[in-house]
Amino acid sequence: MSSFFTAPAGEKKRKRASANEAPHKRVATGKSTAKPSSAKAPVAKSRPAVPKKAVERDESISGSDIDSDDGDHHIEREDGSEGEEESDHEGETAAEKRLRLAQRYLDKARQEVELEEDEYAFDAEQIDRDLLAERLQEDVAEAKGKVYRQLASKLDFDGAAHTQFRWNSGTVTSVSVCAPYAYTTTKDGYLTKWKLQDLPKNQWPQTTKKKPKKPPAPPKKKPERVCFNRANPTKAKDKTYQGHTNAAILTVKASSDGKFVVTGGADKRMVVHDAETLKPIRAFTQHRDAVTSLAFRRGTNQIFSASKDRTVKVWSLDELAYVETLFGHQDEIPDIDALAGERCVSVGARDRTARYWKVPEESQLVFRGGVSEKKSYKNRDQQVDHDGTMDQVAMIDDELFVTGDSAGTLALWGTSRKKALFTQPCAHGIDPPLKPSEVSADANADESVVPTPQPRAITALRTIPYSDVILSGSWDGFVRVWRLSEDKKKILPVGVLGSSTALQQLDQAEAQKQKEEVKQKAKEEKKKEENESGATASSGEEGQADDEASVDGSQDNKKKKQESGLIRGIINDIAIFERGDRGRDGICIVVATGKEMRLGRWKVMKDGRNGATIFEVPKVARRAGAKGEDSEDEEEA
């Protein structure tokens, strides 16, 4: 009788019948009659007796049976060999199996690439770059959170072309990029979306095979404004309003998938916008003071927010939900940064600490800045009266990050040490000394009243993740480029962004002015000759004196422009994205500038411009680099 825990008797009988059918079919072959196995013996005994005629008939066709049996033996051997291979790898773990399969796949890819190289004779360097092994190594290094890209020597920072664009707005406080769009925020409450232009070679693609009769149009350089959104102060008391209610928007960040744009303002709100239309989706009001900085976790929609209320909050935009709060800073948090790991680094202004937050472990590492002992600088002009506040931070990888302070010091930190690995004082130089008339109201003021010149503060700091490139900005008019040393213990200067192109533009502008001045002088001389025919000699001497004065004036103007720099104003933020597949066409850098500083008015530049500047940094040409190396070798010889 069947029950709930036993199968019915009918099913058991069917299972027995199916089990007996399989050996019955195997025994029916000639192999079983010639060489019966021990397992098949009981089945053979249960068979009925075979008549003599049938035996003779089987013997007459035994040759064909033997041939077929040999094929069966061959199949069984193959199955056995596969079983042996599987038995060899039975004890391996899942990770070892993945590694074995990946190595087999890489070997196959290398063989295919070698065949293509022999057949088509491609460039070896191009093939090596496209190897799947290199791609996998980069992916593994990025997953581990280590520096794996050496880009400082491959990019032509001096030859970067720049384009300035501005609009009728206040000080630009922040900029973020999600190619091909850039997002800017201002102190008067504007969030603006811009479409960045493609590279000149990609702007006007040729659609037909025929050669065009007309030359192509000149490439576009300035970005196009797509849409904008503005804070509404009249909704300050409306709790259901999902946008900003205060004029000053201090920071902006765009998600990597291009869905969300998040802003933080002085109204204590963090607002999530739709990236296409910039319409506000949700406003979070958990912070008790102004939201000063934002940082997305790389490749995800998890975001970290820093505020003047001395807290860091974690959010998930997929669910539009608050996750947790991180406590520890003793002062406002002006900047925060994050990479792919569930980690973030923040700086605490006047508490002079950088805190490395481990979110899953609910722990933090504290790095204390400032100079405890007075260092003996080689140059006395680099001595600093105060340590300054930690205002900027940028992560290089999961173990290294850099900070910048108001004293102009650029510091490199590692998670293995609590002290800075390297410090670069006065990274952006020192402000020129003030005049006595600017300091005192007295007509004859003493020079003792003039304070000592102070270094320029670092107001913007950015890195290319997992690479050796570091960019910093201040109000000296330049974006300075630094690189991480090979031993990852020092920061070395590379140069200034767009220095050679700026000099070329200055030379061209001066040449045009000189040509125009020469033409005007020639016209004036002709008029004078017509009016006064006898005073040719004196007019010639005056013309020479005027030429010398104009040359001296142009040189002075050139020096002033070089000292003032490419960028007029205070650099408040820097954003970077790569052109092409993994940066094959270089990188694009967007710099936000303004007349005032981002979080206050401690420094005001009346000659500054509220806007932004775009730098297109190309890759270094191989041939030119090779020629340059050869020429240097010849000079040394």
467 and 604 belong to one structural domain: yes
Domain assignment of residue 408, yes or no:
yes
pLDDT digit string, tens, across residues 11-23: 554 545 444 444 4
pLDDT bracket for residue 270 (50, 70, 90): very high
pLDDT value for 512: 62
Residue 302 has pLDDT above 50, yes or no: yes
Among all chains, which residue has been given the structure tokens 């070329």?
504
Residue 373 has pLDDT above 80, yes or no: no
pLDDT digit string, tens, across residues 391-401: 999 999 999 99
125 and 223 belong to one structural domain: no
Residue 263 has pLDDT above 80, yes or no: yes
187 Cβ contact partners less than 8 Å away, ≥ 6 residues apart: 170, 171, 173, 247, 248, 249, 594, 596
263 and 395 belong to one structural domain: yes
pLDDT value for 214: 73
392 and 409 belong to one structural domain: yes
In whole angstroms, give the CA distance from residue 97 to residue 94: 5
**Lowest mean pLDDT segment, chosen from 226-235, 467-476, 516-525, 592-601:** 516-525
Q: Which residue has the higher pLDDT, 148 or 526?
A: 148
Domain assignment of residue 25, yes or no:
no
Residue 636 has pLDDT above 90, yes or no: no
Residues in the chain: 637
pLDDT bracket for residue 509 (50, 70, 90): low
Residue 632 has pLDDT above 90, yes or no: no
Rounded to 5 degrees, φ, ψ at 354 are: -115, 130
In whole angstroms, give the CA distance from residue 497 to residue 617: 9
Q: Which residue has the higher pLDDT, 159 or 46?
A: 159
Q: Name the token pair of 454.
A: 């102070």
124 and 244 belong to one structural domain: no
Average pLDDT over residues 111-135: 57
Give the domain extent around 106: 102-144
Domain assignment of residue 47, yes or no:
no
pLDDT digit string, tens, across residues 162-171: 999 888 889 9
255 and 310 belong to one structural domain: yes
pLDDT value for 234: 92
pLDDT value for 295: 97
pLDDT bracket for residue 549 (50, 70, 90): very low
Three-class DSSP category at 310: coil
User: 298 burial class (0-12, 13-18, 19+ CB within 10 angstroms)?
Assistant: middle
Residue 376 has pLDDT above 90, yes or no: no
Average pLDDT over residues 610-630: 72
Residue 464 has pLDDT above 60, yes or no: yes
- Side-by-side strand order, sheet with 400-405: 390-395, 400-405, 410-414, 422-424
Domain assignment of residue 193, yes or no:
yes
479 and 524 belong to one structural domain: no
pLDDT digit string, tens, across residues 22-53: 444 444 444 444 444 444 444 444 455 555 54
User: 46 burial class (0-12, 13-18, 19+ CB within 10 angstroms)?
Assistant: exposed
Q: Which residue has the higher pLDDT, 607 or 86?
A: 607
Among all chains, which residue has been given the structure tokens 């009659």?
33
Domain assignment of residue 73, yes or no:
no
**Lowest mean pLDDT segment, chosen from 89-98, 118-127, 147-156, 589-598:** 118-127
pLDDT bracket for residue 372 (50, 70, 90): very low
Average pLDDT over residues 405-418: 94
Q: Which residue has the higher pLDDT, 357 or 128?
A: 357
pLDDT bracket for residue 525 (50, 70, 90): confident
Q: What percent of the chain has pLDDT over 90?
A: 46
118 and 257 belong to one structural domain: no
pLDDT digit string, tens, across residues 56-88: 554 444 444 444 444 444 444 444 444 555 556
**How many of the other CB atoms lie within 10 Å of CB of 70?**
10
Domain assignment of residue 474, yes or no:
yes
pLDDT value for 438: 77
Q: Which residue has the higher pLDDT, 150 or 144?
A: 150
**Lowest mean pLDDT segment, chosen from 138-147, 535-544, 563-572, 586-595:** 535-544
Average pLDDT over residues 537-561: 49
pLDDT bracket for residue 583 (50, 70, 90): confident
Average pLDDT over residues 231-250: 92
404 and 513 belong to one structural domain: no
CA-nearest of 318, 235, 301, 305 to 265 is 305
pLDDT value for 108: 75
pLDDT value for 598: 94
Residue 281 has pLDDT above 50, yes or no: yes
pLDDT value for 563: 54
Secondary-structure breakdown of the chain: helix, strand, coil percentages, each rounded to the nearest 5? 35, 25, 40
pLDDT value for 505: 54
Residue 348 has pLDDT above 60, yes or no: yes
pLDDT digit string, tens, across residues 469-499: 999 999 999 999 999 999 999 999 999 988 7
Average pLDDT over residues 340-359: 95
CATH number of the domain enclosing 490? 2.130.10.10
Number of domains in the chain: 3
479 and 594 belong to one structural domain: yes
> What letter does residue 104 receive in the DSSP assignment?
H
Average pLDDT over residues 336-344: 94
116 and 198 belong to one structural domain: no
126 and 201 belong to one structural domain: no
pLDDT bracket for residue 113 (50, 70, 90): low
Average pLDDT over residues 187-211: 82
Residue 267 has pLDDT above 70, yes or no: yes
Domain assignment of residue 549, yes or no:
yes
Q: What percent of the chain has pLDDT over 70?
A: 66
Residue 289 has pLDDT above 60, yes or no: yes
Burial 561-589 (b: 16+ CB within 10 A, else e): beeebbbbbbbbbbbbbbbeeebebbbbb
436 Cβ contact partners less than 8 Å away, ≥ 6 residues apart: 445, 446, 447, 449, 450
Domain assignment of residue 465, yes or no:
yes
Backbone conformation region of residue 95, classed left if phi is above 0, alpha if psi is from -120 to 50, else beta: alpha
Residues 609/569, Cβ–Cβ less than 8 Å: yes
